[in-house]
Amino acid sequence: MSKPILSVLAALGLLATAPAYSANLSQAPDGDYPDFTYAAESAVEAVVYVEVTVTQTYQAPQIDDPFFRFFFGDDFAQPQSRERKGSGSGVIIRPDGYIVTNNHVVAGASKIQVTLNNNKTYAATLVGTDPATDVALVKIDADHLPVLKIADSDKLRLGEWVLAIGSPLGPQLRSTITAGIVSAKGRSMPNYTGEFKIESFIQTDAAVNPGNSGGALVNKKGELVGINTAIVSTTGSYTGYSFAVPSNIVKKTVADLIDFGSVRRALLGVTMRALDEKTAQEMKLSSLDGVYIVEVSKGGAAQKAGIKEGDVLLSVDSKVITGTSSLQTIVNGYHPGDVAQVKFVRDGKTHVVKVTFTGELEPTGQTLDDGTVAFYGAKLKAADQKTLAALRIKSGVEVVSVGNGKLAAAGAEDGLIIRYVNDQAVSKPQDVVEAAAKAKRAVVIEGLTPSGRSVFFALAKEQ
């Protein structure tokens, strides 16, 4: 179209024209360009490079050729060992040398070496690990070290700026800093497995690569909000997604490792699923917040508090449950024996009960703090003379608490008096443990209920 025609159309108002636009950066509001210099320069001093040595043992192939064995001897086929190097990152959380990292960084390590940002290198000892959260704690012999303040990760907001600090791809890229935003919270990571899965990861788009594991995720103030743990990638390198263990989980896990040497994890004793619209409508709920209880463990904390299958849990100590990972995170903040107020809905009515959290099953045969002996999740003690006289028997072992293990699953109840295990008479807890250990397959228990009724239970042999 010629210029004269365009001029005529414009004059007649028949030609649409776009308004002129001129970017004026001086009008941009203050704070549009975040300054990470303070957070980066202060936090990087507390992030370390972790190098591990793993000694692997392997069996050399057996060669039966007599001629070969004549020259090389029988020792050639003996187990051989070799060393493998690995590396990751860590964060100094106490000035006296405590450093948090990932469990998968130090798992199986025979030697751990830590290099600070000032290039000083120390031998480190392993304090403890928690595979469920992929958190580990090591210690070096040093004082007056720079530390990162641990922030409340629950206060993180979607879209908030964060920095990832670590040593991606080995020592040549030590103390690398990348920036991104919080992309999501409470993420369950694909293919993550563990006996107790605490799946409530912070997802960010800060660039993280192998070697960043165990490094710091910090906010704009330079405070620790997470420990970088993993990436989701089809190539093995960063493709836009990284995950970190929230600092609130790290803080509780580390405190347990320092105080007890292992994590004392509270258990609610439920199987759950996320709410869907159909269930919410049937139960006349105003939102999809909460979790639906599919199953309640016998003898568990939830059952003892009166929670049943089909209930919908809404909150724990006023902390709103937004989904399954949310409940896992909340419960993980408690210790066995702690008491919490749990709100739930049943038949359209809201109820509040006190729940006393239980702990993980103690190893069978272990003597507990109260003097009882652990047996398949239950607690045993020798029956006292008054109980034996009431049942008109000479000896037996009392089940003080059936717990929530195999004995409970078989139908046993508190107060059961065990008389025989695989036809062997028992009079003290250790008799029960030893008789069960000798069983090749099933463990058959004969006993009396508190009312004097004879009962039998069969348990699968514990592997």
Report pLDDT digits (tens) over 70-106.
555 555 555 566 788 999 999 999 999 999 999 999 9
Does 7 fall in a domain?
A: no
**For the segment 219-245, what is each residue's pLDDT rounded down to a tens digit?**
999 999 999 998 887 787 888 889 999
Examine the fold and report which residue of 263, 294, 315 is the final residue of a domain before the chain moves on: 263
Does 21 fall in a domain?
A: no
Does 163 fall in a domain?
A: yes
Quote the number of domains for the chain.
3
Work out the percent of the chain whose per-residue pLDDT is above 90.
58
Same domain assignment for residues 86 and 174: yes
Same domain assignment for residues 256 and 311: no
Same domain assignment for residues 384 and 259: no
CB-CB neighbours of 178 under 10 Å: 20
Same domain assignment for residues 94 and 168: yes
For residues 346-361, give the mean pLDDT. 89
Which amino acid is it at 81? S
Contact 185, 178 (CB under 8 A): no
Contact 422, 439 (CB under 8 A): yes
71 by Cβ neighbours in 10 Å (0-12 / 13-18 / 19+) ranks as: exposed
Same domain assignment for residues 342 and 383: no
Does 13 fall in a domain?
A: no
Contact 295, 271 (CB under 8 A): yes
Token reading at 261: 């040497």
> Any idea what DSSP says for residue 2?
-
Where in the sequence is the domain holding 205, given as residue range(s)?
Answer: 40-263
Does 18 fall in a domain?
A: no
pLDDT band at 24 (very low <50, low <70, confident <90, very high): very low
Same domain assignment for residues 191 and 236: yes
Range with the lowest mean pLDDT among 59-68, 82-91, 411-420? 59-68
- Give the residue, 233 or 292, on which the prediction is more confident: 292
Same domain assignment for residues 242 and 304: no
Same domain assignment for residues 259 and 276: no
- Give the residue, 411 or 61, on which the prediction is more confident: 411
- What CATH number does residue 150 fall under? 2.40.10.120
**How high is the pLDDT of residue 370?**
79
Same domain assignment for residues 258 and 274: no
Whether the pLDDT of residue 298 is over 70: the answer is yes
Range with the lowest mean pLDDT among 64-73, 89-98, 285-294? 64-73
Residues found in the chain: 463
pTM for the whole thing? 0.68
For residues 193-218, give the mean pLDDT. 84
- What CATH number does residue 392 fall under? 2.30.42.10
Whether the pLDDT of residue 3 is over 70: the answer is no
Does 3 fall in a domain?
A: no
**How high is the pLDDT of residue 18?**
40
Whether the pLDDT of residue 323 is over 70: the answer is yes
Contact 253, 240 (CB under 8 A): no
**How high is the pLDDT of residue 62?**
53
Token reading at 433: 């443990």
Examine the fold and report which residue of 263, 294, 323 is the final residue of a domain before the chain moves on: 263
**How high is the pLDDT of residue 76?**
53
Same domain assignment for residues 158 and 249: yes
Same domain assignment for residues 142 and 213: yes
Tell me which residues are annotated as active site: 104, 134, 213
**For the segment 174-185, what is each residue's pLDDT rounded down to a tens digit?**
999 999 999 999
CA distance 218 to 204: 11
Examine the fold and report which residue of 322, 356, 390 is the final residue of a domain before the chain moves on: 356
pLDDT band at 4 (very low <50, low <70, confident <90, very high): very low
- Give the residue, 14 or 406, on which the prediction is more confident: 406
Whether the pLDDT of residue 438 is over 70: the answer is yes
Contact 417, 380 (CB under 8 A): no
Does 34 fall in a domain?
A: no
pLDDT band at 26 (very low <50, low <70, confident <90, very high): very low
Does 365 fall in a domain?
A: no
Whether the pLDDT of residue 45 is over 90: the answer is yes
Whether the pLDDT of residue 309 is over 80: the answer is yes
Same domain assignment for residues 230 and 304: no
Range with the lowest mean pLDDT among 25-29, 130-134, 354-358? 25-29
